[in-house]
Structure 1
Amino acid sequence: MTDPITIQWTPKTGLPRRLTFEPLEKGYRRIEREWNGSEWRHCGSEHTTDLTLHPPEDPPTLEELISQIHGTWDHPNPAVLTFTNEDTVAEINGQLRYRSPTQDGWYAVTKTDLESHLRTAGYPTIHRLSETPYNRADFTADSIPRQ
């Protein structure tokens, strides 16, 4: 295991802040703290993976990810976008269809809808449909009307 990594800065109009990455067996725990004048107040933490001090490049844009799943629905095992909470997006005949484990059907979404969804579900990655909890019928039957 390695030592924790701490980054500290003072925003122009705020209190000093710290991000600490503590090594775990698999990944790191990211801990955010804020100086309150007498101690570091805990603001939040989460488990993270793939920590690097020198990012290799920007992640692919959402548009690039969508283009990589475009036209694959007719393949035996189509490419889909998956989020960490198992929300999944497939592209069928030019339409993006969103499916969540908390819903009984799918509904059509736009790139703008997905951009809003990133804040709560994280950044999607590309997987094969067989790597998700869904099958083709989950994206072709029982659509949910948008309200």
Structure 2
Amino acid sequence: MSTPPEVLSEVCRWVEKAENDLRNAGYVLGLADDCPTDTVCFHCQQCAEKYLKALLIFRGVDFPRTHDLVVLLNLASGGGWPALDAGQVQTLNRYSVEGRYPGDWDPIDLQEAGKALETAKRVRAAVRGMLPPEALP
């Protein structure tokens, strides 16, 4: 059974937004000492979230309005899930708030921001491996 074109189109839109977040994170991290690391980490969390939601849309799985990557990962695991470390993916969760709002947060150094980018790239690779080429921009 083939996937309806409107579903593929919706998945593609989510993937495009996820790619924009990943590009932003990589670009900003490249600023090195001038890097706002909270922004990098926020975009990494957003990239992972949007890729997971793209997979759920492709699979026809309804999901709640949430930024919690563990919730999304658990929903996605129903259709089989590639090798992803859920604990590592969960580390991105805190950035959905800490990356956007002021607060009494622990500082994020360049090394931590780099790890967040690597985690986002792993989620990207895993999800893209489960989507058909016609759903990818």
Q: Name the TM tier (shorter chain).
A: under 0.3
Structure with the higher strand share, 1 or 2: 1
Which gives a bigger RCO, structure 1 or 2 (Cα 8 Å, sep 6+)? Answer: 2
The two structures have a TM-score, normalised by structure 2, of 0.24
Q: TM-score, normalised by structure 1?
A: 0.23
